[in-house]
A and B are shown apart, each in its own frame.
Chain A
Amino acid sequence: MIATFRIPGAGRLKQAETARFSFDGQSYAGVEGETLASALLANGVHLVGRSFKYHRPRGFLSAGAEEPNALVEIKRDSARRTPNVRATVQELYDGLTAQSQNRWPSLAFDVSALGDIASPLLSAGFYYKTFMWPKFAWKNFYEPRIRAAAGLGVAPDQPDPDHYSARFAHCDVLVLGGGAAGIAAALAAAETGVRVILADEQVDFGGSLRFESGAMIDGQDGFAWAQGAVATLRAMDNVRVLSRTTAFGYYAQNFVGLVERVSDHLQNLGRELPRERLWQVRAKRVVLATGAIERHMVFADNDRPGVMLASAARTYLNHFGVAVGRNVGVYTANDSAYAAAIDLKKAGIGVAAIVDLRDNPTGSVIDEARALGIEVNFGRAVIRAGGKLRVSSMTVQPKNGGGERTIPVDAILMSAGWTPSVHLFSQSRGKVAFNDETKRFVPGTYAQDCVSVGACNGTDGLSATIDEAYAAGAKAAKDAGVKNAGANVVKGTKPKVDASESWSRGMLGAAPGAGPDTTVKAFVDFQNDVTAKDIRQAVHEGMRSIEHVKRFTTNGMATDQGKTSNMHGLAIAAETLGKPIPQVGLTTFRAPYTPVTFGSIVGHARGPLFDPTRKTAIHPWAEAQGAVFEDVGQWKRAWYFPKAGEDMHAAVDRECVTVRKTAGLFDASTLGKIEVVGPDAAKFMELLYTNPWEKLEPGRCRYGIMLREDGFIYDDGVVGRLAADRFHVTTTTGGAPRVMNHMEDYLQTEFPHLNVWLTSTTEQWAVIAVQGPKSREIIAPLVEGIDMSDGALPHMSVREGRICGVPTRLFRMSFTGERGFEVNVPADYGQAVWEALWAEGQKHGACAYGTEAMHVLRAEKGYIIVGQDTDGTVTPGDAGLDWAVGKKKTDFVGIRGMARPDLVAKGRKQLVGLKTKDPKVVLEEGAQIVGDPKQAIPMTMIGHVTSSYWSENCGRSIALALVAGGRDRMGETLYVPMPNATIEVEVTGMVFFDDKGERLNG
């Protein structure tokens, strides 16, 4: 079945297959290889959407990426629903399902279109004015309603099942745009043998050669020449040709982002193909051949379905073989619309009249139109389009006023001229310049190694375009300075233009049909429903800069980024302001050129691949034991080990009690570890930590504090001295990378005279903490070569030997206050040694404990956690750690910062313990503390809770807090106001359990 509006013999899809598709539930037949827009038009469907603000019926304006109106949802299945797809870009496949958007209940009858009648309320700036009063109504009333009624498509609500890939590429010459200019530039560059990438957003290369019937190059039809030239390029090893690929962003140093649509046009996606591919290309030279975009005429009701750009109607006819109507009208201010009228007339389509705003234009196309019997009217304007769901007439009037005449039509083709596409040039930070003669912005000052050619450079005519592009391509290749001629480089000659079309000029701004009448809707920006009246109103209300006009009216702010509207909006603003256009200025072009999916930006970095997951050597054992894990940075850490029937609290209470009664095993492998080695290792440690290190004997350990230069605590950890020239430094789990960076920074840049090497060994050592009164009995049977008696291996010492036959660094240290050890073994042996220790531990009734019990046990002893009990504004003094600062030292990082007046002033927040008056109440971490609970709100807060737990060992809750002047408040009662009650607390010391520390040797 041939659809009604398909013209036999026209178009280039002759051998194509039939594709069935549906739109809003209605089935249609189309042709594979055409766009959804072309297929709908072939079936006589023009009404495809409702506008953003007024819900006015809309059709197709264009045949390409600049389309502001025809946005649809493409639905493949429940998860694959893509909103805001331009029907003019989406290729048809068999089974395609599309739906219109932004309408309720149906496209033909939309209740919200009442907004069109009530539109005086919705004029420019309406967001700023209408919804400001009363204040509370915004959140509860206006916002939900606006969000429901406005907006374009609906975002999908399921995870995206497709995958997206990414490629980095380097080339000598990157050519953006595959029309005549881009192809010529690519040919010239490729012939030299340099690496060339040529990209175009369309399926078919050729750009405007897709619709220009009058172009002849090298003796062939222009489009056929383009296909041949691209085939030549594809066959060359040094050339990569990318179709369906949009350059969306031009970044610093010729770094260009492109998205290739790989499978959106395919019926069956399959898993092997990504949906889209992100190309990040670094090019030595970039050739911009991005063409020009036709502008519409601004007149009343110029948005009726069936009113479209002349070049779009020509594309549908000459490329897809589809007529956009049976009896079309033409409204123009330049020559290019004549060519459209001529092509349509020759294809047997009625052309009711050409209305030309110009007074007495001359030219061959005008003569040809007349010769074909088309009525041509000069000096007249279309002041109104008739019809609602489809244009039905155009009303014509002499442009200086006079009698009206209404001509029945079923489509209006319009052209106000062509706007050079300087988007990417502008993104490259190039400055555009206004050409007053041709009334257009063209590339002016360049900021990067790129060049613009053809229509985007304001070059008119095919011959001049090819001359310019071919020369630019050759120069770009030469400037890239590469001599690596490929094996199969095809040496060619400059393409010769035998025939071409030429059209330039046109008009900017509102035509007479846009009227001064305030009820007229002459659209400037179709996607954001901005009319000529809105722009004028913005100026009348005081907007002077085009950037303000843009934001006040939202002109050019929709997803089409004002591709068709910017110049008209600017011209109307300039006219109203009575200023020349360049003085009003052009708004900034921003990336992306067309919308880019989040999927293509994210690529494979999602789900488990979003961020690396780090697991310790002992992780599989913990998993098998049913441990519950928590995320600590990138690490998965065993949080607690619940037994059958235990909740978290029961498990943690049992683990805490067991450690102090017998013993517990804890996987401490995530501790950061840095090996500091060299003749000057001790000197280096003296400078990086507050503590003295020179006199620490090999075999002994010390708790070290690292400050930043400002005197605040940066990290802490136990450091073991293995030899005169070797320290085993531990850091907090999260702090390892930044501590390493901090150390490297000082070693490389401040203390380069020190002979020291730093090596991160975090992942080399598995660390098994064995803590509790039975810890030595558990470890000792497995250890060789280390005397484990208290005399030989006292608290805070380290020995090297073997455990279970593998090398170990055995630390005697404690983060629980119990007798304790940390067994370091090479990570590959971690789980085996753990299992051996576990078997020994079972004999004594030991448990495995997780990070939650570790936190409780250390808090019972008042041991701080950097980053939890400190927050980057806590000094060693604030934390009660003055004892760890070497008093005789003359330098270390932070020594001067610590002495700043504010850091030694009285009343600083200090770490203290808190006991709730009711021992059963557990404070919330982060809760604020006040002195007087009866004071007026807002209360003066004197501190906050940093750590808080239920301690089964103490039989009560315990907490640490930073409190102003805390150590002078011992025994004082303070208050923690919470939403439901105010909690009374007593200030105490930080040690809640075994305050004499006897259990370290117990």
Chain B
Amino acid sequence: MLLIRCPYCEEERPELEFRNAGEAHIARSADMAATSDDDFEKFFFIRSNPKGIIYERWRHMHGCARFFNAVRDTVSDRFLMTYKAGEPKPAKLPGAFE
């Protein structure tokens, strides 16, 4: 079971309290109805599924109930950092390793 730090509670809590919510930083168009088929495909269907660093959304379901973003290494499952929803993708990752 992983330990995840909730950026709102500012606490490391067991994975049981959280729920994964898919890839992060996929913006919903402000003009959704006018989105082209190709753009909608990219927005809705295509995910990066990397081996390595992934930016993903989590929800502190059984805690503060907030959605937030996390950077995780899919090889080691290690969380490099978490940050609040709406904050930009971090430019630099702490303790990143290959």
Q: Give A contacts to B, CB under 8 Å.
A: 251-253, 255, 280, 282, 429, 447, 709-710, 741, 744-745, 748-750, 752, 890-891, 895-897, 899-901
Q: Are B86 and A752 within 8 A (Cβ)? A: yes
A282 / chain B contacts, CB cutoff of 8 Å: 3, 14
Quick one: closest A residue to B75, CB to CB? A429
Q: Identify whether the interface residues of B are mostly helix, strand, loop, or mixed.
A: loop
A710 / chain B contacts, CB cutoff of 8 Å: 44
Q: Does B91 contact A (CB under 8 A)?
A: no
Q: Does B67 contact A (CB under 8 A)?
A: yes
A-B Cβ contacts below 8 A, count: 53
Q: Are A749 and B67 within 8 A (Cβ)? A: yes
Q: Are B66 and A896 within 8 A (Cβ)? A: no
Q: Assuming the A-B contacts A891-B32, A900-B40, are A253 and B2 also in contact, with contact meaning beta carbons closer than 8 angstroms in the complex?
A: yes
B61 / chain A contacts, CB cutoff of 8 Å: 741
**A876 to B: closest C-beta gap in Å:** 15
Q: Are B37 and A891 within 8 A (Cβ)? A: no
B contact residues, total (Cβ < 8 Å): 25
Query: Which of A252, A744, A748, A899 contacts B1, CB < 8 Å?
Result: A252
24 A-B residue pairs with Cβ-Cβ distance under 8 Å, sorted by A, are: A252-B2, A253-B2, A253-B3, A253-B78, A282-B14, A447-B76, A709-B28, A710-B44, A741-B59, A741-B61, A744-B59, A745-B21, A745-B59, A745-B67, A890-B33, A895-B32, A895-B33, A896-B29, A896-B33, A897-B44, A899-B33, A900-B37, A900-B40, A901-B37
Q: Give B contacts to A, CB under 8 Å.
A: 1-3, 14, 21, 28-29, 31-33, 35, 37, 40, 44, 57, 59, 61, 65-67, 76-78, 85-86
Q: Assuming the A-B contacts A252-B77, A744-B65, A749-B67, are A896 and B35 also in contact, with contact meaning beta carbons closer than 8 angstroms in the complex?
A: yes
A741 / chain B contacts, CB cutoff of 8 Å: 59, 61
Q: Are B32 and A749 within 8 A (Cβ)? A: no
Centre residue among A282, A429, A891, A896 by max chain B CB count within 10 A? A896
B35 / chain A contacts, CB cutoff of 8 Å: 896
Quick one: closest A residue to B29, CB to CB? A896
Query: Which of B1, B32, B67 contacts A251, CB < 8 Å?
Result: B1
Q: Assuming the A-B contacts A252-B77, A253-B3, A745-B67, are A896 and B40 also in contact, with contact meaning beta carbons closer than 8 angstroms in the complex?
A: yes
**A676 to B: closest C-beta gap in Å:** 16
**A233 to B: closest C-beta gap in Å:** 27
A752 / chain B contacts, CB cutoff of 8 Å: 85-86
A744 / chain B contacts, CB cutoff of 8 Å: 59, 65, 67
**A282 to B: closest C-beta gap in Å:** 7
B57 / chain A contacts, CB cutoff of 8 Å: 749
Quick one: closest B residue to A758, CB to CB? B65
In the complex the two chains form, what is the Cα distance from A744 to B37 in whole Å?
27
**A449 to B: closest C-beta gap in Å:** 12
A890 / chain B contacts, CB cutoff of 8 Å: 33
Q: Are A748 and B66 within 8 A (Cβ)? A: yes
Query: Which of B2, B28, B33 contacts A750, CB < 8 Å?
Result: B28
Pick the 3 closest A-B CB pairs, nearest first: A748-B67, A896-B32, A749-B85
**B33 to A: closest C-beta gap in Å:** 5
Query: Which of A280, A429, A895, A901 contacts B76, CB < 8 Å?
Result: A429
Apart from the given pairs A741-B61, A745-B59, A899-B33, 16 other A-B contacts in the complex at a CB distance below 8 Å: A252-B77, A253-B1, A253-B2, A253-B78, A447-B76, A709-B28, A744-B59, A744-B67, A748-B85, A749-B57, A749-B86, A752-B85, A752-B86, A890-B33, A891-B33, A895-B33
A900 / chain B contacts, CB cutoff of 8 Å: 37, 40
A896 / chain B contacts, CB cutoff of 8 Å: 29, 32-33, 35, 40
Quick one: closest A residue to B15, CB to CB? A252
In the complex the two chains form, what is the Cα distance from A829 to B25 in whole Å?
47
In the complex the two chains form, what is the Cα distance from A282 to B14 in whole Å?
10
In the complex the two chains form, what is the Cα distance from A255 to B78 in whole Å?
13
B29 / chain A contacts, CB cutoff of 8 Å: 896
Quick one: closest A residue to B1, CB to CB? A255
B1 / chain A contacts, CB cutoff of 8 Å: 251-253, 255, 280
